[in-house]
Amino acid sequence: MARAALAIDGRVGMSAIAPRRPARRFWPQAILFLACAILVNAVFGDRGLTESMRARRQYAAAQQELAKLKRENTALRERMRRLRSDPAAIEAIARGELGLLRQGEVLVVVKDER
């Protein structure tokens, strides 16, 4: 018997002895690899989860800085309003920063000798 054995499906050859691997095995592996690549990109890519979390932290920090600057701006506006209309505030600045005295006052400087 020089011929190869007849396979169950009618083909002649060695397929009856050693079955071939199914050709469909490539696609599940390719899909799994593609899914893993997409997942890694979604987590670590330019617009991924880690970048999104970093951007949210920066946004929160910028909001806090903005709130601080708004409070400071409000305080400066109030100081400006007082300096324009409140004589006591003007006098406090004149005495503290400029070293001015009222008429009739005497400046006494005390030095600490050691």
Per-residue pLDDT of the chain (114 residues), as tens digits, is: 444 554 455 555 555 566 666 556 788 888 999 999 988 888 888 888 888 899 999 999 999 999 999 999 999 999 999 999 999 998 888 888 888 888 888 888 888 887
Q: How many CA atoms lie within 13 A of 27 on its CB side?
A: 3
Helix extents (H) in the chain? 26-44, 49-85, 87-96
pLDDT attached to residue 101: 83
Q: Which residues contact 42 (CB under 8 A, 6 or more apart)?
A: 48, 49
Could you tell me the pTM of the whole model?
0.51
Closest CA to 54 of 67, 41, 45, 65: 45
The pLDDT assigned to 105 comes to 83
